[in-house]
A = this chain, B = another copy of it.
Amino acid sequence: MSLITLTTDFGTKDHFVGAVKGAIYSELPNAKIVDITHEISPFSITETSYILKNSYKSFPDKTIHIVGVDSELSSDNKHIALELDNHYFVCPDNGIISMITSEIKPTRIVEINIHDRIESSFPVLDVFVQVACFIARGGNLAVIGKEVQTFKKMTEIQPKVSKAQNQIIGGIVYIDNYGNVITNISKKMFQEVGKGRRFKANARRYSFSKIFTKYNEVAQGSAHDSIQYDGNKLAIFNSAGYLEIAIYRSNLGTVGGASTLLGLQYRDSVIIDFINDTQPDFTPLT
């Protein structure tokens, strides 16, 4: 039995997803197919990168992940298959694995070259399914294409650290279902750079000097009437380990969320200033 996941920007209305699943079952009747998502914003490499990073790990080893976002073949946009952290990915070489590869190096990458036989405007159906099923049957990556050593990296997605190690300059990479805005600043980086110092995290005109680890800590000490904290803003390291700015129990459909209420958008910068308490002119933060 093979586990194959799908991550695309196809949406769930069109025939694309059904056609892809049918093709997989035609080749591998016992496959298990799992939708990670089909709701990626069209052509969004950043969203894809964030979602893949935070979902692939919970799947069993040897899972094959098909990624269909901006996947039309061109001389500028090759198709690749790779082995990484004991998982397989079949995807375009457009940077969508950047958030994973910033932490873990691929074991092996091949540039898919079965295209000599296939000319297609629907490569997920016509190429990726074939490659995924070949891998699922135990096929060797070397048969699919020639091994390559480099792949595209989306470097602008990485946060920057100031030379003096006093500042992290990150940005908003994703807005979730609750309207919470998620940055590319990981808890790990925050701890390594911050070394326990006090800090101020700034996003537009809002600043935070505390980062929670559970949403309802914002309502702590008042367990029996936490509803009065609905709508409070907070900074949190979310379950994926990234700094997130959230509204407690928000709803984009009614009261709004952090994205709408605080006016925070994709690509906005989020800056963390660490404070050296020994500095003479220190003014207490509010």
Which stretch in A30-38, A143-151, A202-210 binds the other chain?
Answer: A30-38
**A263 contacts the other chain (CB 8 A):** no
Assess whether A125 is in contact with B1, with CB atoms less than 8 Å apart.
no
Assess whether B3 is in contact with A25, with CB atoms less than 8 Å apart.
yes
Assess whether B18 is in contact with A5, with CB atoms less than 8 Å apart.
yes
Assess whether A223 is in contact with B75, with CB atoms less than 8 Å apart.
yes
Q: Which residues of B contact A226 (CB under 8 A)?
A: 74, 76
**A14 contacts the other chain (CB 8 A):** yes
Assess whether A18 is in contact with B36, with CB atoms less than 8 Å apart.
yes
In the complex, A87 Cα to B40 Cα: how many Å?
32
In the complex, A176 Cα to B14 Cα: how many Å?
6
Assess whether B177 is in contact with A42, with CB atoms less than 8 Å apart.
yes
Q: Point out which of A14, A43, A250 has the most chain B C-beta atoms below 10 A from its C-beta.
A: A14
Q: Which residues of B contact A278 (CB under 8 A)?
A: none
In the complex, A236 Cα to B16 Cα: how many Å?
17
- From B26, B29, B73, give the contact of A1 (CB < 8 A): B29
Which stretch in A56-64, A131-139, A154-162 binds the other chain?
Answer: A56-64
7 pairs from A and B in contact (CB 8 Å cutoff): A15-B37, A20-B58, A22-B56, A42-B251, A76-B224, A120-B214, A125-B239
